Amino acid sequence: MSSLFATGHAVDIVLAVMLVEMIILIKRRGHAATIILAFLPGALILLAVRAALTGAGWQWVALALAASFPAHLADLRRRGL
């Protein structure tokens, strides 16, 4: 089980489940851009976690986290919050 996290595959599984969920929502509801924008901040944070778990440089962790913030703000703006 520890190798699942050490290799980052635990995050890969979560990202795959999110991708399947996103595809299902797009097929059922349409509005692909809206749904992708809702999932993007979480996916970017998960990529930061994966980078940290696998020992990537701090720059990759920081880049993914920094990219998640404007994506989050864009989603909030789209929702009118």
Per-residue pLDDT tens listing for the chain (81 residues): 888 888 899 999 999 999 999 999 999 998 899 999 999 999 999 999 999 999 999 999 999 999 999 999 999 999 988
**Residue 50: which of 64, 40, 37, 39 has the closest Cα?**
64
What value does the CA radius of gyration of the chain take, rounded to a whole number of Å? 14
The pTM score is 0.90
Structure-token match 């778990």, residue found: 53
